[in-house]
Amino acid sequence: MFVYAFLAVVLASAAASVELWPLTGFRLYHEVRRPTHPTWELVKLAPDGSEVQASLYDLGIGFRDTERLLGRDPDALDGARAHEVCRAWASGFGAPLRIYRTRVDARSGERLTRRLVHECAP
């Protein structure tokens, strides 16, 4: 009986597009892979004005995967939410940040385009 109940919950979560492990809609497997993909790029601003690549993995575990808070579409990005998220990251790094939306080649990882979306200070 437990197995049937578990399968029903998994199927219901897939139908509702819930992405909470282990109840997942299996987005990884059913999305089409394209030759390029968009991504968020974080850079810290050094005191001399130069940009230094930043990773959320350099912060505590609570910051990991928080780029999802920005969403997928930079044109639909809520400015207040972006500022709140950016300030939290900048406070973690202790430096001003710039958030870029980049398009990357899926095979080589080469950056094809880069657009500044938001900038903030801690």
Are both 39 and 78 inside the same structural domain? yes
Do 8 and 42 lie in one domain? The reply is no
Strand partners, 41: 100
Q: Tell me how crowded residue 26 is: count the other CB atoms within 10 A of its CB.
A: 12
Domain count, the chain: 2
Residue 95 is part of which domain span? 34-120
Residue 68 confidence (pLDDT): 78
Torsion of CA 13, 19, 22, 27, to 10 degrees: 90
What CA–CA distance (Å, rounded) separates 33 from 56?
A: 24
Are residues 103 and 77 located together in one domain of the fold?
yes
Exposure letters 61-85 (e unless 16+ CB within 10 A, then b): eebeeebeebeeebeebeeeebeeb
**Together in a domain, 47 and 97:** yes
User: Looking at the DSSP assignment, which residues form a beta bridge with residue 37?
Assistant: 104
How large is the average pLDDT for residues 94-121? 87
Is residue 54 within 8 Å of residue 93, measured between CB atoms? yes
pTM of the model: 0.65
Average confidence score pLDDT of the chain = 81
Q: What is the mean pLDDT of residues 17-34?
A: 67
